[in-house]
Amino acid sequence: MNIAHPTATAAQQVTLHESGLTLPLPGQPQAYFNYHWLRDNCPSSFDPGTRERSFDIFHLSEAPTARAALIEGQHLVIDWAGANHRSAFPLELLAGYTQGTPRPDPADLKRRAWFSDHYADVARFSQPDLLSNHSAVTRWIEALLVEGVAIITDMPDSDAGLTDLAQVIGTIRPTFFGTYFDVKTHINPTNTAYTAAALELHTDTPAEEHAPGIQFLHCRANSVEGGRNLFGDGVAVANDFRSRDPEGFKLLSEIDIPFYCEHDSYDMRSRQRVIELDAHGEVSGLTISQHMLDLIDLPQQLLDTYYPAFCRFGRMLQEEKYVMRFTLNAGECIVFDNHRIVHGRAGYTASSGDRYLRGCYTDRAEMRSTYRALVSEGRFKS
C-alpha cells in the first residue's frame, strides 16, 4: 500500500508493510523502520522537562500499525490505526537509526598512546581555574579521555581542595578502603602503599567487581629521599604486545583471572581480564596488580600457555621505553584513568623527610557524562 502526499513526487513515497514501513532517505532509497520502534520513539513520547520517556508501550493492547504515512517537508508523519495519535519524525533523526549502529558519542575520543618521554608533555591545569572555567574543564577531560593522565597545579594544602577538584567531573566514589585514602607510612599497614617500600606498576582495587575509573593523588608533602613516581600507559604497552605476541594478547584479553584484597574486616574478590578491550575491539586499559593477584585457578594445562604470556606482558610493562619517572611535588595532583594507567613508585627512606599523598576516585562513566553535557546539548533540550 502506497500513501503519498497529494503533491509529493515519487521519491517522497512511503510504503506501509505489516510490521513497519519504508521511505526514501538520502543515500537510502528504501529505509525500513519497525512500527513498534516508531511508536515508542515518537517525539511526543518524551517529557520535555525530565527528558525521559513518558509513553509506555507496554500499555498498548495491540501491536502499533500505521493507518497512513507521508513525508511533509523534512518530517515523516504517521497517523496510527486504532488511536487518535499522529507522530512527526525529523528525517534527519531517522537517518541515524537505519543501520542499527549506536548514535555518535562525543566522549568516544580516539586514545593517543604515550611513552617514557611524555612527562614534559603531560597536560597541566590550575585547580582554581578548573573550579571556575568550563572551557578548562572540557580540555582537562579531553586529556583524560585521549591520554589518560593530567597534572593539576596550584592545589591548596587542604582536604577540601581535593574534594572540590574531584567534584568538578564527578561524585567521589568510595571503595572498601573508604571515601579517601592517605598514602604515607602507617605503623600497622594494611596495604603495601602504606609503607616506604617500592611499589610495582599496578592498577588500583582490582579486587572490586567494578574498580573505580578515575584516580586522584594529591601530593601534600614530599621531602623524602627516593620515592620517584612511576607511570606507564597500558594502552601503549598492550598495543605493542598485540603486535609482538598476538597469541599472548588473545589469552590476556579473553580470559578472566582472580584478584583479591583481604584483611580482618574485608575479603574482596573479583575476576578480571588483564587487557581490556572497548566496543571497537581497541585496547581501553588494563587490570593488573601483583600484590592483589589471587592464586590463579585456571586449568593447569591452560597455565602452560597463560603464565608465560602473563609474564612476558608483565616484563614488557617495566621496559624503559614505557615507564615515565618523575617526582610529584607538594601542591600538585595527578589525575589518571585507573583502567588504563599503571602506576607505582620507587622505595624511599621514611626517616629522610615527609611524604604524604591523599587520594580518592570518581567514575569514568560520570566523567564522560560531564564531558557530553559540556560539549553538546543532547537530544531533548527545549
Q: What is the pLDDT along the chain (382 residues), one digit of tens a residue?
A: 444 433 345 446 899 999 999 999 988 889 999 999 999 999 999 998 888 999 999 999 999 999 999 999 999 999 999 999 999 999 999 999 998 888 899 999 999 999 999 999 999 999 999 999 999 999 999 999 999 999 999 999 999 999 999 999 999 999 988 999 998 764 344 455 555 566 899 999 999 999 999 999 999 998 888 888 999 999 999 999 999 999 999 999 999 999 999 988 889 999 999 999 999 999 999 999 999 999 999 999 999 999 999 999 999 999 999 999 999 999 999 999 999 999 998 887 777 888 899 999 999 999 999 999 999 987 766 5
pLDDT digits 0-9 by tens, 195-215: 556 689 999 999 999 999 999
Which residues sit opposite 20 in a β-bridge? 34
Q: What pLDDT, on the 0 to 100 scale, is given for residue 142?
A: 98
Q: Which residues contact 316 (CB under 8 A, 6 or more apart)?
A: 237, 240, 241, 244, 322
Residue pointed to by grid coordinates 534527519:
92
Cβ atoms 228, 326 nearer than 8 A: yes
Give the per-residue pLDDT at 193. 53
Place of cell 596488580: 289
Please list, residue by residue across 335-369, b when 16 or more beta carbons sit within 10 angstroms of its beta carbon and e when fewer do: bbbbbbbbbbbeebebeeeebbbbbbbbbbeebbe
Residue pair 357/220 in contact (Cβ under 8 Å)? The answer is yes
Q: Tell me 293's DSSP state.
A: B
Q: Which is nearest to 333 in space by CA: 116, 135, 107, 169?
A: 169
CA-CA distance, 297 to 288, in Å (whole number)? 16
DSSP letter (8 states) at residue 18: S
CB 327 within 8 A of CB 153: no
Task: Show the cell assigned to 379.
Answer: 537530544
Using the Cα atoms of residue 373, residue 217, residue 221 and residue 159 in order, give the sign of their dihedral: positive
The size of the chain, in residues, is 382
pLDDT at 57 (0 to 100):
96
| Separation of CA 135 from chain center | 21
**CA-based R_g, the chain, Å:** 27
The confidence score (pLDDT) of residue 381 equals: 62
* Residues 6+ away with beta carbon under 8 Å from 376: 106
Quick one: pLDDT at residue 196?
Answer: 56
d(CA 382, CA 379): 9
Cβ 366 vs Cβ 374: under 8 Å: no
Residue 332, all three cell numbers: 600538585
Contacts of residue 333, defined as CB under 8 A and 6 or more positions apart, other chains included, come to 127, 151, 152, 155, 162, 165, 216, 217, 218, 219
